[in-house]
Structure 1
Amino acid sequence: MSHIQSPILLQYLDALLKHGSFTKAAKDLYISQPYLTQTIKRTENDLGIEIVNRKSPQLQLTEAGKVYYRYLESIEESSEDLKRQLAKYSMTGKPTIRIAILPSLATYLLPLVLPVFKNKFPHISVTILEDVPKNNELLTIKEEVDFYIGQNPEAVSPSLITIDCGFQNYYAIIPPSSEFYCEGVQYLTENSISVEELLCQELVLTTNGSAIRRQIDRLLNRYKITPRIAFETSNVYTVAELAKQDLGVAFVPEGLVHATNSTAYNLYPITTTLISLEYFIAYPASKMLSENEKLFLDIFTTIVQKHTKKASS
């Protein structure tokens, strides 16, 4: 097997696939082209197969190369899993809270919570894993992280205990190109525009599979609308910014909306009877929380609930 460590070899292959040539890949990697060529050739000799198809106009992996590439990826994933599992046994001696969270939620929620937590409990370390909900939930069930922070808990596994942290409204960002744009104001009055008609505008959406997209899709299905999609992206912050730049109407959670006194676009509140975003924090039902974990849970729920609304009983 190759003497080159798998992360480095994976990086080399990624550069080759990106640039399609040894010369350009070597330049990007800040290594010489002969060294890169020899490294790949030596790996092929060790494996007894060709992993790079040099006959195609642009370098590609052979079928065997694709299998080897997936193998390298699996090594990386196993390594990351091991790091997460060992984190709580860190030799720093600091107790550690491990959090799994969606990147867009991390951007909004963690700056609210972590400064307060670290100020009160500086001796407790916090590690953050940002990933998609499916992976975050699985890691929590396997107890490779302590908490899973997410949104819209209706589909969360019963193997987890979920704690409601309140909900927020959605807002439509309406740019000047929309027929519903009102010049000279930022916030529009709730129920002053038909949501059904707004959904018929050109839309900027999060990609399929996201919690926010599922909610928007339910609205589209409710009104039997086939969306006119201008752009799709996995990052809801990007969705909001693209809408503000007049590239389509977007529907985003209240936490992403900040009063700027800008009238370059309108912000229109969507009634919660149609759509809302619920925040939660979850942990394994089989897990006995440590005192440090209880401290984090208490601070997280207290702070987030201050920034959200509570469902009426």
Structure 2
Amino acid sequence: MSKLESQDILCYIDSLLKYSNYSKAAQSLYISQPYLTKVIKKVESQLNCELITRSRLPYRLTEQGKIYYQYLTSLEHSYAKLVREISYVSDIGSRILRIGILPSLGSYLTPLFLPDFLKLHPAYKINLVEDIPEKNEKRLQNHELDFWIGQNSSSISPNLNSVSWGRHRYRAVIPRCSELYRNNAAVIPEGTFDISTILRQKLILTSKGSAIRKQIDQLLSVYKIQPSIVMESNEIRTVLKLAKHNMGVTIVPESVHIDECASEYNIYPIPIDKMSLDYFIAHHGERKLSGDDHDLIHTFLNHGQQCAV
């Protein structure tokens, strides 16, 4: 079994145990439910046993499943050790920082602080690992990353230490098809609408499992709203383009640039007390921070303090 396969299967099992539902687990992993079912059945067929009890909730590992899970975990630790040892030999005389980040977030955040860090430490090489949060968090826990940059630090594992920029706002994009659209208004003043009014529109949303979607789903639950979701996408820029092209209202973080176009859509800043996010940089709790590490964190925070509400 390859490293990629073992890591993926471990993530799949973790998600199934977390959600006790194949559809929800697949959505959190950004894969299809049939594919997830096929992978688990294939492994169970190869091992000639059931890995997870699915006859009652919540899902639990069978005794055979516990042995297999321990095996996968040992592979993760062994591979992480291998990577560290090879990196140590390969990087003698050079310095490398491995940073995990969501691709859409990286295009906004990294230009703000990495150039300043590299001015202080020009000998460093930065390896960006652009992937979904679940996988980068797992890499950080396995010491395959030095740092992980994400949003909404309250949801990360307790064995990771993080520092945050502070709260930042979201903005709604309201196209002409919405009853809330106002002619020739590039930006509608904050406080004009209640958040529940926004959520009752036809919506274009990011897929379940994303940081934005978790907050939106929580608000839908609080206001007891059955949403009208026209379309979902894993990519934030896709939902933005669809909203701009009059398919429905969407909500995006301020990190995503939006050109003003009053004739096609309005931009509405959502009150930060209703919905907000915080950008964070995290490291493993066992990592002993060097002076260079502190410089990286400082340059990250320096720009965050300038931008935070």
Common fold, TM-score beyond 0.5? yes
Count of matched residue pairs: 244
Does the 8 A contact of 1:97 with 1:125 survive in 2?
Answer: yes
Q: Give the corresponding residue for 1:117.
A: 117
Q: Show the 5 A alignment for 1:8-23.
A: none
Does the 8 A contact of 2:80 with 2:143 survive in 1?
Answer: no
Does the 8 A contact of 2:159 with 2:285 survive in 1?
Answer: yes
* Distance verdict in 2 for CA 1:108–1:88, change over 3 Å: farther
Q: Give the corresponding residue for 2:147.
A: 147
Post-superposition CA distance 1:224-274 (Å, at most 9, x none): 111111111111122212111111100111121445455421011111121
Q: Give the corresponding residue for 2:163.
A: 163
Does the 8 A contact of 1:109 with 1:304 survive in 2?
Answer: no
Q: Show the 5 A alignment for 1:149-298.
A: 149-260=149-260, 262-298=262-298
Q: Distance in 2 between matches of 1:277 and 1:263?
A: 29
Runs of 4+ in structure 1 deviating by more than 4 angstroms, as ranges, are 77-84
SS at match of 2:231: strand
Q: Out of 81-90 and 95-104, give the one that drifted further.
A: 81-90
Q: Distance in 2 between matches of 1:210 and 1:285?
A: 24
Q: Give the corresponding residue for 1:135.
A: 135
Does the 8 A contact of 1:88 with 1:95 survive in 2?
Answer: no
Does the 8 A contact of 1:96 with 1:125 survive in 2?
Answer: yes
Structure 1 residue 88, shift from structure 2 partner? 5.3
Does the 8 A contact of 2:105 with 2:255 survive in 1?
Answer: no
Does the 8 A contact of 2:170 with 2:269 survive in 1?
Answer: yes
Does the 8 A contact of 2:203 with 2:228 survive in 1?
Answer: yes
Does the 8 A contact of 1:175 with 1:244 survive in 2?
Answer: yes
> Which residue identity is paired with 2:294?
K
Structure 1 residue 133, shift from structure 2 partner? 1.7
* Distance verdict in 2 for CA 1:230–1:92, change over 3 Å: farther
* Distance verdict in 2 for CA 1:127–1:95, change over 3 Å: same
Q: Distance in 1 between matches of 2:171 and 2:198?
A: 12
TM (norm. structure 1) is: 0.70
Does the 8 A contact of 1:171 with 1:253 survive in 2?
Answer: yes
**Structure 2 spans left out of the alignment, 5+ residues:** 4-38, 47-71
Q: Distance in 2 between matches of 1:80 and 1:264?
A: 51
Q: Distance in 2 between matches of 1:131 and 1:201?
A: 31
Q: Give the corresponding residue for 2:69.
A: none
Post-superposition CA distance 1:92-132 (Å, at most 9, x none): 73211111112221121112222232233221111111122
Q: Which has the larger radius of gyration?
A: 1
Q: Give the corresponding residue for 1:45.
A: none
Does the 8 A contact of 1:97 with 1:293 survive in 2?
Answer: no
SS at match of 2:255: helix
Does the 8 A contact of 2:260 with 2:267 survive in 1?
Answer: no
* Distance verdict in 2 for CA 1:84–1:227, change over 3 Å: farther
CA RMSD in angstroms comes to 2.9
